[in-house]
Structure 1
């Protein structure tokens, strides 16, 4: 585990919703997901409160919530650290994603076949961004999340949707490591198009096979990145 690095937090980054605890929670969670706090980095509640110009109470409350969700881990007499995502964690996460998303596609297939415009929009965003010499990896990631969210939301099942959101947050952290791999982004775009084409053809088996292939390829890419960076 590494020592806490200098933070660059500013009160202006808070949402200012009127609920300081929720605003601090949202900010810290967003920073973890964008890897502005890196895996295994130590978080200091006092330092965070000082930089955000707030008391330690909303910071402690936010950290407790993040701990309960698995984004951080507090060790007695050692401190609070951002949770790392390891090889076995990713395998387990993607086993769940496959179970959830393939069943969601099965359950919501008829609805998805008439909502293909949503997928076409996200694919068009990817194609447009990838034309540029440099692209914003965060926007690519957000578009990818929306593509998969459409599949799960088609079920109208609040439990499946909520579980997907929770799991996807953890995948989101690791996914950031290959966002600048243009080749992988091009491959992922083609995989999304394969899912869409099968929906347009009303080919359920084909759409499920394309989705499974995409999830398998994404997991494989993430595992390779973990092996390269060796920072988890």
Structure 2
């Protein structure tokens, strides 16, 4: 399987998002760009790009001259996001099942689910979260008509 090249901004995005989701970075204090530079051992440019993307996705808010504040997700917001995801993914799955690539995508989903089960059995929350994200990307990629980044499914 061929993986797409990951840019530093994408690596920074994944690392910061993981730290936010796992609670390693929390909403109690402002975080500085300098702290992230040290924490990730990266330059400012990819970190700024990652922060912009995370801000657009609602994970955090950047306040000039103050720092970065992690956004708290309300129960209502979480339920709304879950509902939106369900609608999009149900639509994508219907399209997937009617496509010529249905078998290939179903195999990818099965492999992913088996890896998730393995991660759960090992209590590896980080691996599980990454696999869960990949599962959702596989489902939506059927709708987007592009193959998941970690596969070689033809489109």
The equivalent residue for 2:86 is: 98
Describe the SS at the equivalent of 2:78: helix
The equivalent residue for 2:136 is: 148
CA 1:53–1:73: 2 relative to 1, 3 Å: same
- How far apart, in 1, do the equivalents of 2:118 and 2:44 lie? 44
Q: What does 1:77-116 align with in structure 2 at a 5 Å threshold?
A: 79-111=67-99, 113-115=102-104, 116=106
1:66 Cα shift? 3.1
User: When the two structures are aligned, how many residues end up with a matched partner?
Assistant: 140
1:27 Cα shift? 3.6
Q: Deviations over 1:46-88 (max 9, x none)?
A: 3334566676666555434432332211346754201111111
The equivalent residue for 1:175 is: none
Describe the SS at the equivalent of 2:123: coil
Q: Deviations over 1:82-106 (max 9, x none)?
A: 1111111112111211221111112
What's the RMSD between the two structures over aligned residues?
3.4
| 1:119 corresponds to 2:109 | yes
CA 1:54–1:127: 2 relative to 1, 3 Å: closer
- How far apart, in 2, do the equivalents of 1:54 and 1:118 lie? 33
CA 1:83–1:157: 2 relative to 1, 3 Å: farther
Q: Which has the larger radius of gyration?
A: 1
Unpaired stretches in structure 2, ≥5 consecutive residues: 1-5, 149-155
The answer to whether the Cα contact below 8 Å between 1:41 and 1:81 also exists between their aligned partners in 2 is yes
TM-score after normalising by structure 1: 0.47
Unpaired stretches in structure 1, ≥5 consecutive residues: 1-15, 162-232
CA 1:84–1:129: 2 relative to 1, 3 Å: same
The equivalent residue for 1:73 is: 61
- How far apart, in 1, do the equivalents of 2:40 and 2:116 lie? 35
The answer to whether the Cα contact below 8 Å between 2:26 and 2:70 also exists between their aligned partners in 1 is yes
Describe the SS at the equivalent of 1:114: helix
The equivalent residue for 1:13 is: none
Describe the SS at the equivalent of 1:152: helix
The answer to whether the Cα contact below 8 Å between 2:119 and 2:125 also exists between their aligned partners in 1 is no
Q: What does 1:105-184 align with in structure 2 at a 5 Å threshold?
A: 105-111=93-99, 113-115=102-104, 116-130=106-120, 132=121, 134-157=122-145
Choose between structure 1 and 2: higher helix proportion. 1
